[in-house]
Amino acid sequence: MQRSLFLFKSSIIVFGAFLFLSFPAHHASASSVVASQTEQNNIYYFSTSDISNVSAQPIIFDKNTFIDNVSFWIQKWYSSPTGNIHLQIRTASRVNTGTLIATSVNTIDVSTLPTEAQSAVKTTFNFSNIILIGGVKYYFVAEPTTTGEVVAQFQYTGTGTFIPSTGYTVLNIDDVMPATPIQKAKFEIVGVPEVVEVPLYTQIQSNFPDFDLTGIWAAQKYGTGNYPNCVDSLLGYATIARCGCTITSIVMVMRYYGIENNVMGSEINPGTLNTWLTGNGGYDPSGTLSSWGQISNYAKDSTGPKKVVFINRVNLDTDPTHTVTESELKSLADVQLNKQVLNPVILFEDVSPTHFIVASAKDGARYKIRDPHWYNTTYLDGHTTSNCNTGACTKDYQNTFHGVRIFDRIENVFSQEQIELTLASPAELLITDPDGKKLGKDPANNLTFNQISGASYTEEGISDPTLDNPTPTSHRSKHIWIPAPLVGNYTVQVIGTGSGTYTLTSTVSDTEGDLHREVSKGNTIVNLQTAYNLSFSETDPGTIDIIPQDTTPPIISNTSLAPEYILNSSAVQFNYSAQDVGEGLFSVSATLDGQPLTSGQPIDFNSPGTHAIVITAKDFINNTATETIHFDVVYQFGGFLNPIKVDGSGLYNLGRTLPVKFQLMDVSNQLVSTAIANIYTAKIQDGVVGTDEIPLSISAADTGNLFRIVGNQYIYNLATNSLGLGAWQIKAVLNDGRNYVVVISLH
């Protein structure tokens, strides 16, 4: 069992017959010392400027700790007899209060204590692996058997040198300063922190952590479920069991950090993480994460601060100009795994199939791992089970990995500012920072750039780990990650390697760790270069955005049409086109009344009514121009027929039946018998305006308001007895969108 030495800047104060080993306040609290020390040569020191506080204060360890022994150094005691000192570990600051955790006795001859100019005497108390629980307040109380009113304060500088105690305030039982100078002492706790293992979670059904729970999320639809290279053939969609190694590895790291609940208030597990990512744009169209930094928004309380930060991503580059070697990649992982408080690392295995696992510890040159699929695999250089394709099998990764993804607790992170770009497309990604330095690939000129310090360009894809020959990802997602970016304007280029659509997701974290995400969609072809401007300000988050450099839509041209055509007029050949002076024209199309219309297609005017042609033109960056052209196709209306007087002079007897008649013709004066016509009446005034009295019959009237076709004309027998005396407007409404009116008078 490896031991860790904890050293505290401390004070020892005598109150009557017992000593308090008192500790100045650490940064986390004014009333306690939190044991989350900074490391220096495997010895841990508290950092504080307040060493004059003489009130007894507790120690709070950040995790469960085995205590082997406790020691303190002292140079002068003001009582001379030899006596025993009882050192107690309690949950309260008095010998007879609180819970006694443990006690130890040692003897010291006070008369032999050296003076300030000499070395201190060390007194050690053995406790035999007492366990102190993380987060609980403990007091170390020393009770001498002889009377001593004061005992020295002390400070340990970290170099083994004892410094004078001038300027310190020291209290005795009577609150009287001693007559002689105060001497120095040192206090240490030797202990072994409890080892916290990375918990094992699986993407498939297993007992890790629970058989029933893993069965639920293993069958859950991963993202949209539309990722052909990892579809479950029985369920018909992509599942967490097939695709979920990334999110399951992330869950293991979050649970290791002690984060149990997510921003939704539910438990952190692969199922809830998948649900949150799906609902928050967390996956790109290929199924990979659109941002690793977004996990900080998931692994937090709904109203609380963030708890983790994504701090690094690096892949081995297969390009001959790569700058990260395998040994350098392992060094990045080893730095995290060799910390006194271990920080697990997510490893990217870029083999067929690709896979993410968690490096949970270092055992010599070997890596201990947690595998979300091959869950019985415990080492990176383990044995591959022959002829076995279940999660209970083991996998040999030959102690090799091809990328790292690293998170850390937020209290360990100095800067949260970062830029993360994800490109799902048949394209490459290239960024230029405000100083002109570049990162990414330019396939058009066969160039690779890695000029931005600390940044990385990586590729990712998802696949089914159970398949020996998985379906390859058609286009891997490209990722750029820049920590602590320069303030200013960046140029982002999407450079096509094939034909297709792309989705560019930018996730920018400001100085407060708040994320700003924008999604841009476009189209590309081989060697097409599409440029975006990305502005970054660490202090003005509202100005963080990414916009295309080309914002001008294409220009549309087309055949001119008249606003109106008579039914069955001669067809017109309709041509249209578009031009774009920026990124170039991607597409131009048109519809006629919602149906596709190709350029050069003849337009027939054989359907009455209003019609619309909509022309849409897009450039490669989705700047869009739209033009809508309306035209009407109408009947030739022959006018109202007798006995209606079209000039409004007709005067008719109330109570008789008035035949309302007209004819409709096409452009060739051919009678049209397929029209739909309705009649409506409205009173104009009580007095009559007509002067030409016309007799009417008492024939039967029509009901409803629909004109009938009789022979070569449309007719409606209007009953006048329901209208009343006065002047009335009669309106015929046709299905070509036109209507015609005439005035009659009833007396």
Task: Give pLDDT tens digits for 512-530.
Answer: 888 889 999 999 999 999 9
For residues 44 and 180, state if they share a domain: yes
| Predicted pLDDT of residue 412 | 85
Element (H, E) at 603: strand 601-605
| Predicted pLDDT of residue 208 | 95
For residues 17 and 161, state if they share a domain: yes
pLDDT at 656 over 80: yes
Q: Check: CB of residue 640 under 8 Å from CB of residue 740.
A: yes
Instruction: Give the three-class secondary structure for 536.
Output: strand
Q: Check: CB of residue 83 under 8 Å from CB of residue 110.
A: yes
For residues 117 and 8, state if they share a domain: yes
Helix, strand, coil in percent for the chain, rounding step 5: 10, 45, 50
Say which range, 134-143, 533-542, 646-655, has the weakest mean pLDDT: 134-143
pLDDT at 556 over 80: yes
The answer, yes or no, to whether the previous bond of 353 is cis (omega within 30 of 0) is: yes
564 is written with which tokens? Answer: 């109106």
Q: Classify residue 473: in a domain, yes or no.
A: yes
| Predicted pLDDT of residue 642 | 93
Instruction: Tell me which of 185 and 537 has the higher pLDDT.
Output: 537
pLDDT at 93 over 90: no
Instruction: Tell me which of 23 and 279 has the higher pLDDT.
Output: 279
For residues 656 and 582, state if they share a domain: no
The answer, yes or no, to whether the previous bond of 643 is cis (omega within 30 of 0) is: yes
Q: How far apart are CA 460 and CA 473, in angstroms?
A: 9
Residue where a domain stops, chosen among 610, 634, 658: 634
For residues 507 and 621, state if they share a domain: no
Residue where a domain stops, chosen among 581, 614, 634: 634
* Single-letter amino acid, residue 10: S
43 is written with which tokens? Answer: 């010895």
pLDDT tens digit string along 101-147? 777 776 666 555 554 434 445 666 676 666 667 667 776 665 554 44
CATH, residue 741: 2.60.40.1930
Domain that holds residue 508: 418-548
Residue 721: how many CB atoms within 10 A of its CB?
Answer: 11
pTM above 0.75, yes or no: no
pLDDT tens digit string along 343-353? 999 999 987 67
Instruction: Give the three-class secondary structure for 183.
Output: coil
For residues 22 and 168, state if they share a domain: yes
Residues 129, 133, 134, 138: is their CA dihedral positive or negative? negative
Q: Classify residue 496: in a domain, yes or no.
A: yes
Displacement of CA 488 from its chain's centroid (Å): 24
Q: Classify residue 383: in a domain, yes or no.
A: no
pLDDT range class, residue 651, cuts 50, 70, 90 = very high
Number of domains in the chain: 4
pLDDT at 328 over 50: yes
For residues 21 and 157, state if they share a domain: yes
Phi, psi of 65 (to 5 degrees): -135, 135
Proportion of the chain above pLDDT 70, given as a percent: 73
For residues 430 and 536, state if they share a domain: yes
For residues 640 and 625, state if they share a domain: no
For residues 513 and 483, state if they share a domain: yes
Instruction: Tell me which of 304 and 439 has the higher pLDDT.
Output: 439
CATH, residue 11: 2.60.120
Q: How far apart are CA 255 and CA 379, in angstroms?
A: 20
Q: Check: CB of residue 6 under 8 Å from CB of residue 186.
A: no
In 3D space, the residue among 314, 286, 665 whose CA is nearest the CA of residue 481 turns out to be: 314
pLDDT tens digit string along 394-416? 888 999 999 999 999 998 887 78
| Predicted pLDDT of residue 196 | 76
pLDDT range class, residue 630, cuts 50, 70, 90 = very high
Residue where a domain stops, chosen among 634, 659, 677: 634
For residues 47 and 186, state if they share a domain: yes
Element (H, E) at 507: strand 500-509
Instruction: Tell me which of 614 and 511 has the higher pLDDT.
Output: 614
Instruction: Tell me which of 695 and 113 has the higher pLDDT.
Output: 695
31: left (phi over 0), alpha (psi -120 to 50) or beta: alpha
Q: How far apart are CA 59 and CA 37, in angstroms?
A: 12
Q: Classify residue 480: in a domain, yes or no.
A: yes
Work out the average pLDDT over 426-442. Answer: 95
Work out the average pLDDT over 663-675. Answer: 96
Work out the average pLDDT over 644-666. Answer: 94
Q: How far apart are CA 664 and CA 634, in angstroms?
A: 10
Q: Classify residue 573: in a domain, yes or no.
A: yes
Work out the average pLDDT over 244-258. Answer: 96
Place of tokens 């002068």: 76
| Predicted pLDDT of residue 121 | 56
Phi, psi of 216 (to 5 degrees): -70, -50
Q: Classify residue 377: in a domain, yes or no.
A: no
Q: DSSP string spanning 310-359?
A: EEEEEE---STT----HHHHHHHHHHHHTSSS---EEEEE-SSS-EEEEE
DSSP at 111: G
Instruction: Tell me which of 57 and 644 has the higher pLDDT.
Output: 644
The answer, yes or no, to whether the previous bond of 209 is cis (omega within 30 of 0) is: yes
